[in-house]
Chain A
Amino acid sequence: MKMLLGCTINAQEHTVLVDPRDTLLELLRERIGLTGSKEGCGNGNCGTCTVLLDGAPVNACLVLALEVAGRDVVTIEGVARAGELHPIQSALVEAGGTQCGFCTPGIVLAAKALLDANAAPSEDDIRHAIAGNLCRCTGYGKIVDAIAIAATRMREG
């Protein structure tokens, strides 16, 4: 039996019919058409489906769509402002922190949650914040560099 769900996604109100079995990831990708959030493992290990739920990073594959009723979701599509990349996105481009790109949306949102809470993270803080985001290309070094660069720039305004 389908149910009506109301929630905010990237600052836009949505009312959609969902199957109780739909995950938040399926809601985003298949019902709303926001395909920036990826499905990697589908069981919470890889983090490429990371979105912000009321500001906190979660694995969209481990959340039922109906659980987000009345709540605020931010996906990778909601991070850039007026066509301008977020400092984390720019830094990932500059530092070579993205290669195939499949993990990048999740990395950006995990890093955004970190920097929103901690403006001056240590390298350990950064590595811990993205420990739930697997990258099979970069070896992580350049991703960690990029997040540190973004933190510095955001602090300096």
Chain B
Amino acid sequence: MRNFIYVAPPSIEDAIGELRRGEARPLAGGTDLLPQLREGRRNADRIVDLKRIAELSAIRPLPDGGVAIGAAASATNVARHDVIAARYPAIAASARLLGSVQVQNRASLGGNVCNAAPSADVVPALICHQAYAHIAGASGGRRTPLEKLFAGPGRTVLQADEMLTALALAPVRQRSATTYLRFTPRREMDIAIAGVAVRIDLAEDRSIALARIALASVGPTPLRAMSAERLLLGKPLDRDLSLAAAGAAANDDARPISDTRASADYRRCLVEVLTRRALAACARTLNIALDLT
């Protein structure tokens, strides 16, 4: 490992100052960063530990009824948080999919986001909850919809002197359900070959008022399945809803490649099946039985 300086600044302003000095990397849980440094896949001459900055590990309510998850909050703390567990169960469940218990005790949601793996398990549910990435930088703060943060595998649009500070979730409405499903060859400790998160909000007449579908591991970045979302919007969530059509549309929205873990065709099939199942799971949460044939 290349030699580096370790600093643990007390504030976001100080952390930004450190990031501007040389080739610096923020450190939250380190579960991705440390192996990458050791294997030379990323380099740094300054490691900026964010865990001494209390607000970066906090999970706090927002004035609009949403919740802000500090970028360095651990997966375990997110999954165990009362409000996250009660109102954003798909995010709690996704946090429990990150590696092992040992990894979840260290890994942060912000780190899973900034590592920018197309397979990142916490990202699809965050996108379904309309998460905004709050970013601090030398030239001030900004925010961007989470799906616009990704530039490619392992790359974000963050500048070298910027850092993610929080993931701000939209308030959860009445009659809303979100589910993340992934396919892995092994049940635990595995990387998604494909993952699909679906969120459905119903209007009072039970028609679909909002549909969000986010896909993992089937493109260079996490993706929204926009045509599948459009197809669902306004339709009644009942037995007449064509799950097959929604699955096929999501299949079409996916942009997978073939690699050592699966072929592109297989991933497309998985997206189709997982979309149908996730829609049916959302419907079940909303007390509606859908025919999954």
Contacts and interface: CB of A to CB of B under 8 A. Distances in A.
Given A62-B34, A67-B49, A20 B4 contact: yes
Interface of A: 1, 3, 20-21, 23, 42-45, 47, 50, 53, 56-59, 61-64, 66-67, 69, 110, 113, 128-129, 131-133
B47 A47 contact: no
B101 A131 contact: yes
B99 A63 contact: no
A42 B105 contact: no
A43 B38 contact: yes
B6 interface: yes
A56 B76 contact: yes
16 contacts: A20-B5, A21-B4, A44-B31, A44-B103, A59-B31, A59-B100, A59-B102, A62-B29, A62-B34, A64-B30, A64-B49, A67-B49, A131-B188, A132-B99, A132-B100, A133-B100
B22 interface: no
Interface in B234-252: none
Interface string B1-16: 1011110100000000
A153 B76 CA distance: 28
A1 B5 contact: yes
Contacts of A113: 101
Contact of A62 (B1, B5, B106): B106
B188 A62 contact: no
A50 B102 contact: yes
A59 B103 contact: yes
B182 interface: no
B189 interface: yes
A67 B51 contact: yes
A57 B102 contact: yes
Contacts of A43: 34-35, 38-39
A45 B189 contact: yes
B103 to A, nearest CB: 6
A62 B76 CA distance: 16
Contacts of A56: 76, 105
B100 A131 contact: yes
Interface in B33-50: 34-35, 38-39, 47, 49
A110 B102 contact: yes
